[in-house]
Amino acid sequence: MENLDLRYLVQQNKLTDASKPPVFARVMRSKDGVFEGVSFIKNKDKATVMTVAEAQQVIDWAGSKKAAAAEYATKIICVGQ
């Protein structure tokens, strides 16, 4: 059995307003487990914990599909941060 390193979150911080709290990625998947997109939520506990590869896929998707992506600093963080 493959042991996946599931301990990463994707966090976004608004560049223009540092007083706003960060938001975290929640991955949307089909019933088959296929990646469909991302929504960003305020609740860190409900955010999707993922591998580094999945987190990079989230960042790539957000950069290409979200119109306001340039307004945010997006980064991968460890669960404990």
The pLDDT tens digits of the residues spanning 30-60 come to: 999 899 999 999 999 999 999 999 999 999 9
**Nearest in space to 13 (alpha carbons), one of 61, 71, 72:** 72
Within a domain: 55: yes
Within a domain: 2: no
Could you list the residue range(s) of the whole structural domain that residue 51 is in?
Answer: 8-78
Return all residues near 22 (Cβ < 8 A) that are at least 6 apart.
Answer: 11, 12, 13
pLDDT band at 2 (very low <50, low <70, confident <90, very high): low
Domain count, the chain: 1
Q: Summarize the confidence of residues 7-25 as an average pLDDT.
A: 92
The 3-class SS string of 9-77 reads EEEEEECCCCCCCCEEEEEEECCCCCEEEEEEECCHHHCCCECHHHHHHHHHHHHHHCCCHHHEEEEEE
Mean pLDDT, rounded, of the chain: 90
pLDDT of residue 80: 80
Q: Summarize the confidence of residues 14-23 as an average pLDDT.
A: 91
Within a domain: 21: yes
Within a domain: 3: no
